[in-house]
Amino acid sequence: MRFLKIVLSFVCCIGSTSFSYPAIRACADEPLRLAHRWEVEPDLGIEWLAPRTPLPLTLHPERFASSQLQVVLDESRHALQYADQEDLAGRELALEAILERLKNPPENRQLVLALAGAAIALADGSHAQVLWERLRDAPATRPLIDRALVDWMSPVALDSWRTRLLDPSSSQSDLLLAIEGVGATGSAQDRPALEALLRSDRHQTPLKISIARALGSVATADLESLADDILVAEIEHRELLVAELLSRHTSPAAREQLSSIVDSSHQPARTVAYTAISRNYAELARELAPQMLEQNDNNLRAQAVAVLDQYDDAVSLRYQAARIADRNYELRVSVRENLLRKTRIPELRIVVDEVIDEQLDSDVYQGIEQAILLSVALREAERCPTYLKLLEFPRPETSLIAAWALQELAQTPELMEGILTHTRFLTDRLIKKEPTYRPEHLRQAFLFEAMGRNRYQPAVEMLKLYIDKHHWMGDFCRASAIWALGKILEDSQDADVAQALAERMLDMDPENPEDPLVQFNSTVALGWIKAPQSLEKLRAVPAVLGAHGQAAQWAQQQFAK
């Protein structure tokens, strides 16, 4: 909703746990979620990095009728804050209570605005008529209901909007809402009024752009002559005005005018024009797409990708594939998802593999990262030697994704040997307490998990170094190292390792607490190792300890198998 927003701050908690889990970033643009193996093996149904499900909120209709200002304001704030919750209890009764009170609006402006905002947030288009009747007469609330009706595309205020178009005394803000309302719900009969406003010298360019957009919406033909008049006039942003006017036209003349705008230097106009061409002239849009892919405007490039994605030929795929290394995060993700979908067509799978080869051989981190994600989605384990080399990539986020890919796909002894060599290097630095950084720890964790999945015995002695409570070894590294030990020593009944892990599992020292993830993975590892003396210690873990308690219950069950 665009009306009466409240900006909320909140802290994301992790499922039923109290762990502090680091968000992993694949690039400077957006966070990328890379799953660690202990999140899914064993699968305990824990939602890692997920916000706690909020308790179902109940609105109290009687509070909206309270004579105490703060009570009404607080309940209105709750309505605004939680209106999007599907299970919000008391929604309809609260809306009825608000509407009842708005029959005779209170004099306090703040109170009226709060009630109006809450009512609109709780309502939908089916309540348009009654909300319009309650809110239209107050200058403070009419803009709120105007905006809501535009968003709902409800015509209940259309007559009022039409009147405002013709009233020279209408304020600029009222006129703008009326223009948008007529554009959303009007018809061809509104063309004369809108055209008169567009031709008037009374209005500034921003308002004229909205007028042109509305006119182009209600009149989908026969505006070419008006467009010609605007193009030859000394009007600011005339190209954008014409693009908005002709956005839904399909005539040859409109096509020519829009094409000329695409070739202009007016960037916003080019975007609107190419979007219109994409909607109405498919062949021309495909012809212009390669040119649009080279533009600075993110929207133009995104529109060109959307056009090219409609075609299942190698040339179109090649063109859009170049944007997998685009500087815009959302666009390159979109291209990667498009390419993954295209691999269902055998002849296009060949092209996608060529694109992955090209990106992995480049030095452009954006393309490398998306290529890794794409090839992992395609389960291309044969690329693991390349991922191993990319562990040395200068950008830490990129080497981190390469480590995650190895955790997902690596299987051969040769790869495990290379991974072990890499992890020993950081292990030596940690032992010496040299400065290390979070991306290095996360990368190390993924590599430990790769060796654990493959039960790589030569790694055991190094992994044992991470058991003791030496926080300088990196608690995140320690957690994944312990998980890997559990996998490698599965069914070994190794008493010494089990004893050390049990100490970590039960360490509740208030002055020097053990890391929760270390405790969790120690518990899981004990369930795999199955040393007989571990069972009693697992029973000592309180079931109420969230993920830790769940892991202890699961580990005990493993002894019965």
Quick: pLDDT tens for 13-53. 222 223 333 333 333 455 577 999 999 999 998 877 655 55
pTM of the prediction? 0.82
Paired tokens of 220: 């989908």
Does the pLDDT at position 1 exceed 50? Answer: no
Q: Which residue has the higher pLDDT, 67 or 57?
A: 67
- When pLDDT is averaged across residues 237-256 and rounded to a whole number, the result is 96
Residue bearing tokens 């405007």: 297
Report helix angle 475-488 to 438-453, nearest 10.
0
- When pLDDT is averaged across residues 302-323 and rounded to a whole number, the result is 97
Paired tokens of 543: 């079931």
Q: Domains of the chain (ranges plus CATH)? A: 55-144 (no CATH), 398-561 (1.25.10.10)
For residue 184, what is the enclosing H or E element? helix 172-185
Q: How confident is the model at residue 86 (pLDDT cuts 50, 70, 90)?
A: confident
- When pLDDT is averaged across residues 392-398 and rounded to a whole number, the result is 93
The DSSP output letter for 559 is T
Mean pLDDT over all residues of the chain? 91
Does the pLDDT at position 347 exceed 70? Answer: yes
Chain centroid to Cα 52, Å, comes to 18
- When pLDDT is averaged across residues 85-94 and rounded to a whole number, the result is 91
b/e map 223-251, b = 16+ CB within 10 Å: bbebbeebeeeeeebbbbbbbbbbbbbee
* pLDDT score at 14: 24
Q: What is the 3-state secondary structure (H, E, C) of 131-167?
A: HHHHHCCCCCCHHHHHHHHHHHCCCCCHHHHHHHHHC
Chain segment 133-144, per-residue pLDDT in tens: 999 999 999 999
Q: How confident is the model at residue 560 (pLDDT cuts 50, 70, 90)?
A: confident
Task: Describe the chain by its helix, strand, coil percentages, rounded to 5.
Answer: 65, 0, 35
